[in-house]
Structure 1
Amino acid sequence: MSTQPLTLTERRKLATQLEIAHAAAELFTAHGTDGTTAEAIAHRAGVALRTFYRYFRAKQDAVGPLLAVGGERWRALLATAEPRAALPDALRAAVREVLAAPDKAAAEGLRQVRGLLRAAAGDPALRAVWYRVNQESEEKLRPVVAERAGRGAGQGTSQGASPLQVRLAAAAATAAIRIALETWSETDEDVTGPNSPADLAVRCLDRLMGPGW
């Protein structure tokens, strides 16, 4: 699957959004959503308040780009996986890599997500952002799964996966990561090893997809 390269303006826009998202995540983790204002997020990100509201309607929305980064990387990994690999194997490999913590930055990113999910437990608006990001990720995953399964999205053929199988696989894969991160965020388990996000996600994926793939 090919996409048009981003323009310089689009890259700058995404970079600014991600800077704001990181600032929001840091403040939400440290002070909770009730103790954080849009003004504080803008100040931490080094942008004007009007810039904040140009991109986000509410303070909780600001973490959306950060939560979506993992899904974007995961889809890219799946799309470029070994062509001969079976879909479940390709999904497992992509899950392991995207949730791995090979360095300090990756480990800190996972811990930041844990802080956000803990904050979301008491904030319906933040929880809604998390569910929206997952729904959007699932929808974007479907054409990738369809291509991996040997068919074009929306074109029923006698080979490859059916539209129903594609939707189920995308839903199962997305749910596996969501449930793994939510479960992990409720514990103090490390970012690697048993019961880490990667370990939990692969176990969830195996349970949800089951035999037949």
Structure 2
Amino acid sequence: MSTKPSPSLTERRKAATQLDIAHAAAELFATRGPDGTTAEEISRQAGVALRTFYRYFRSKQDAVSPLLATGAERWRALLEATEPGTALPEALEAAVRQALAVPDEEAVQALLRTRGLLRAAADDAALRAVWYRVNQESEERLVPVIARLAGERARPLEVRLAAAAATDAIRIALETWAAGEAGAQGPDSPADLAVRCLRRLVGGMRTGEARSGDASA
């Protein structure tokens, strides 16, 4: 597996600033809603100038995208670290369990911020569009990771289906959890719901197996 170059100091500072803005936006959206929040208020809460806000984000709703993408990046990294040859459904399930685990209070609060954002998105089309965009980008980045795990015999169609199913399983799990009152762990938690969705959507896929007489995919 190729090693990715480490981000430069400038890139790390940029990412940290974007995440600070995202945290501020998420907190304000959860308490006031997007309609009751302005870009100026988000900037002030994050401790940055308004021009800095607009250097990184096109709109106030767009500001939460780094925060929403964090979970997807974490579980994709877990998948990338999985040994080739591991059965795909098992690899996906293990990565999801780890990514949505809540070993400490910080992890619990991160999930609760996501719940607040998804609840706010229910009444804000622009915020929902950001959520859907983050999921679409996650699905696209997941394709080469799944292709490596599935092996050379996997067909592109099956790889793309697995990436789509895995992404949607997590999205639906988080949306379902956010709409209810279940805790961050245990029955009906994000991890529990995501694993159940994955088993339904991905468990039957034979991504690495050749099927005789079918060369169309």
TM range (shorter): over 0.9
Matched, 1:141 2:142: yes
Structure 1 unaligned spans of 5+: 152-158
Provide the rounded CA distance (Å) in 2 between the counterparts of 1:194 and 1:81.
26
Counting only pairs closer than 5 Å after superposition, residues 126-205 of structure 1 correspond to structure 2 as 126-151=127-152, 159=153, 161-205=154-198
Deviation, structure 1 residue 83: 3.4
Counting only pairs closer than 5 Å after superposition, residues 23-172 of structure 1 correspond to structure 2 as 23-151=24-152, 159=153, 161-172=154-165
Deviation, structure 1 residue 5: 1.5
Provide the rounded CA distance (Å) in 1 between the counterparts of 2:20 and 2:164.
29
Question: Any idea what SS the aligned residue of 1:188 has?
Answer: coil
TM-superposition CA deviations, 1:69-89 (whole Å, max 9, x none): 111111110011243421110
Deviation, structure 1 residue 60: 0.1
Provide the rounded CA distance (Å) in 2 between the counterparts of 1:34 and 1:212.
43
The more displaced of 75-84 and 135-144 is: 75-84
TM-superposition CA deviations, 1:163-187 (whole Å, max 9, x none): 0010000000000000000000000
Deviation, structure 1 residue 209: 1.3
Provide the rounded CA distance (Å) in 2 between the counterparts of 1:50 and 1:75.
32
Q: Is the contact between residue 89 and residue 203 of structure 2 (CA under 8 Å) also seen in structure 1?
A: no
Percentage of matched positions with identical amino acids: 69
Structure 2 unaligned spans of 5+: 207-217
Letter in 2 for 1:189: A
Question: Any idea what SS the aligned residue of 1:34 has?
Answer: helix
